[in-house]
Amino acid sequence: MEIETQTGQTGTTPAQLPQTMPHGTRNPGMDLDMDWVMRARVNRSAVERRASSLPGRRSVKKSHQAAWLARAISCIDLTTLAGDDTPGRVRRLCAKARHPVRTDLLEALGLQGLTTGAVCVYHDMIETAVAALDGSGIPVAAVSTGFPAGLSPMYLRVQEIEESVKAGAAEIDIVISRRKVLMGDWHGLYDEMRAFRAACGDAHVKAILATGELGTLTNVARASLVCMMAGADFIKTSTGKESVNATLPVSLVMIRAIRDYEDRTGIRVGYKPAGGISKAKDALTYLALIKEELGDPWLRPELFRFGASSLLGDIERQLEHHVTGAYSASWRHAMS
């Protein structure tokens, strides 16, 4: 596979990584390095060949599969982003985040204490979610900056972040201005991301690239680098509202950019595929990709999340089958 790194060499194997900052430390960012950004180029055919081989590369069975699926649950941002969200729906979602799998199944698997990675909501449901999750240690994430299009005036996008942090959001999922990427305005994208990062204060910031609208994989690679240079703690594929959301080729490009960034700066940035991941087998493929490309440190909610609303139900069905040998009806695991 040929994804050019900042040193001009092709990233064919995982690099030897330097000592990194302590786990959980924010990404302080760095000055915009346009030489590095413009050297990033992606060989689409090589990426697609590598991605197409992933689903068949790993076969995880029985107790090993149960452990991997439990890890996937711990990395889910349990999400509701609907126009008809109500406080009751959000409280039910938070209860599910606290107890994502039936107690008897967790006891049989020896997985007591399992929770999801976060709960993600719109701004007006932050206080409800914070109250419902009190004492659980589960953070509330809020989508912001004119989500999903990101076309509101800049001062309103910054103010929205500040209001969400004030309301109790520990994580802010921002959307970038796609037109800046399509026009090659990398300085503009960097300045925008720096402003969003500053508005987040102590809250972690996830930069949503909306990769399905960026045109090329090279644009995805460059946007990933610019957002990390500007201080993004996570880079995220999609809002979930685009016609094309998380894909394996896009994920591979973004993950390689994360690896380059750590190799260059010593800072670990997280990754969040979002949209279209609804099956347990897909979650296993993404976890295998992360393990192969970035290594075990990224197999934790501090550095990896799934943006999903329906994935948990299918994982719970698979865990029930592992314990009982039978599947229950899928509607039993649906959340409303």
Which CATH number is 169's domain given?
3.20.20.70
pLDDT higher than 70, residue 178: yes
Identify whether 97 is part of a domain. Answer: yes
29 in a domain, yes or no?
no
How many angstroms separate the CA atoms of 175 and 193, rounded? 9
Other CB atoms closer than 10 Å to residue 254's CB: what's the count?
Answer: 28
**Mean pLDDT calculated for residue range 215-227:** 98
**Residues facing residue 272 across a β-bridge:** 236
The confidence band for 2, taking pLDDT boundaries of 50, 70 and 90, is very low
Mean pLDDT to the nearest integer, 16-33: 65
Residue 326's pLDDT band, with cuts at 50, 70 and 90, is confident
Q: In the predicted model, what is the mean pLDDT of residues 4-13? A: 32
Q: Active-site residues: which are they?
A: 173, 236, 272
* CA dihedral sign of residues 290, 223, 220, 276: positive
Asked, for residue 148, whether it belongs to a domain, the answer is yes
Q: Is residue 308 part of a domain?
A: yes
pLDDT of amino acid 56: 67
Q: How many CA atoms lie within 13 A of 40 on its CB side?
A: 24
Q: Phi first, then psi: what are they for 257, rounded to 5°?
A: -65, -40
Percent over 70 (pLDDT), the chain: 88
pLDDT exceeds 60 at position 10:
no
Per DSSP (E only), the strands in the chain are 76-79, 118-121, 140-143, 171-175, 204-208, 234-236, 270-272, 306-308
Query: Within a domain: residue 27?
Result: no
Instruction: Count how many Cα atoms sit within 13 Å of the Cα of residue 135 in the half-sphere of its side chain.
Output: 2
In a domain, 135, yes or no: yes
pLDDT in tens, 142-177: 999 999 999 999 999 999 999 999 999 999 999 999
> Residue written as tokens 């994580």?
171
pLDDT for residue 14: 27
Task: Supply the pLDDT for residue 293.
Answer: 94
Instruction: Convert the pLDDT of each residue in 46-84 to its tens digit.
Output: 999 988 888 766 566 666 889 999 999 999 999 999 999
Q: Is residue 75 part of a domain?
A: yes
Residue 43, pLDDT > 80, answer yes
Q: What is the mean pLDDT of the chain?
A: 89
For the stretch 130-135, contacts whose Cβ atoms lie closer than 8 Å and that sit 24 or more positions apart, written own/partner, are: 130/167, 130/168, 130/169, 132/90, 132/91, 132/94, 132/95, 133/94, 133/97, 133/98
- 296 pLDDT higher than 70: yes
| Mean local confidence (pLDDT), 28-34 | 98
Structural domain boundaries enclosing 42:
34-52+61-327
Percentage helix, strand, coil for the chain under 3-state DSSP, each rounded to 5: 50, 10, 40
In a domain, 144, yes or no: yes
- Does the pLDDT value for residue 279 go beyond 90? yes
Residues in the chain: 336
C-alpha distance from residue 116 to each of 62, 91, 229 (Å): 22, 14, 29
Task: Inform me whether the pLDDT recorded for 303 exceeds 90.
Answer: yes
Q: Structurally, how many domains does the chain consist of?
A: 1
> Among 144, 136, 129, which Cα is nearest to 93's?
129
